[in-house]
Amino acid sequence: MRHLDTIENLTTVEIEELIDSASSFKSGRYANYSTKHVALMFFENSTRTRFSFECAINRLGAHPYIFDISKSSNQKGETIKDTINNLCAIGINTFVIRTKEEDLIDKLKQIDFYKPVHFINAGKGKSSHPTQALLDYFTMLEKIKTVKNKKVVIIGDIKHSRVAKSNIALLKKFGANIITTAPEYFKEDINGAFFEPDLKKALDGADVVMALRIQNERLDEAISKEDFIKNYSLNMENFPKNAILMHPGPVNRDVEISSELLDSKIGITILNQAENGVYIRMAVIDKILKGQLK
């Protein structure tokens, strides 16, 4: 049984191997997994992650299957365990899962299925999104070569963001100086990151600036969008010279980033992230199918 669940479970060597592998796929490396079948089970909405996994599976010569929750027999009461067992019997042995349930993948990993299976975390609750952190790191390395001693500023809804948690888990392994900045209602102390409430101070001398979407679907109480925009929105005026702008997407225009900044040359890195997502996911699936991930 081999899985990718969290960044914390990967060593720096494994991360570097994944980055090298993604880089070689980007340079045209070929693989042929024509006997492999992968299910995409997304219990939460997605555009980038779902399509880039599907694209990655196709480029590897394997076969992706979209699990449409609304038309599946889960709607008739079938449990996820029974669903996976049946898909396993049909011939699918790799499952890419996005879920709001923090412990679902952990529970699935404990089950002795009909045949050996792999699980890949495609975004789990508020806690982890490992392939996003890997593609973000890959993009940072392309732009600034190393993150060691570089100032990486993460802005916005830290509290509800699995992207922030996985990025911090990864960046601290490689010696980045990580700053989070947010209004009090989005603050969360995360080991490995320093919190600075003042946006201007946080942005001073930044090498990488990562904005996050307000996770409206996870908020317990309403917040003032106007207050957030006034104090934490990035624009042409406050964006630090020479920094790179990142965002996992989807972007809420004119909330976390002004349209003017997003549509400028500075905003291109966000599309580079989406592009790199395909190569990182090819690298992850390749490594898993070769049995090299724990």
Token pair of 234 as six digits: 């990035």
CB of 133 to ligand CP, least distance (A): 11
Residue closer to ligand CP, measured from CB, 240 or 248? 248
Residue closer to ligand CP, measured from CB, 78 or 275? 275
| Contact residues for ligand CP, defined by CB under 6 A | 46-50, 123, 132, 248-250
Residue closer to ligand CP, measured from CB, 36 or 247? 247
CB of 6 to ligand CP, least distance (A): 15
CB of 136 to ligand CP, least distance (A): 9
Residue closer to ligand CP, measured from CB, 56 or 177? 56
CB of 277 to ligand CP, least distance (A): 8
CB of 48 to ligand CP, least distance (A): 4
Q: Which residues of 119-140 are buried (b: 16+ CB within 10 A; e: fewer)?
A: bbbbbbbbebbbbbbbbbbbbb
Q: How many CB atoms lie within 10 A of CB 285?
A: 27
List, in order, residues 6 or more apart from 161 with CB less than 8 Å away. 126, 212, 213, 215
The three-state DSSP-derived secondary structure of 197-258 is: CCHHHHHCCCCEEEECCCCHHHCCCCCCHHHHHHHHCECCCCCCCCCEEECCCCCCECCCEC
Sign of CA dihedral 175, 176, 181, 186: negative
The whole-angstrom separation of Cα 170 and Cα 14 is: 12
Residue closer to ligand CP, measured from CB, 40 or 293? 40
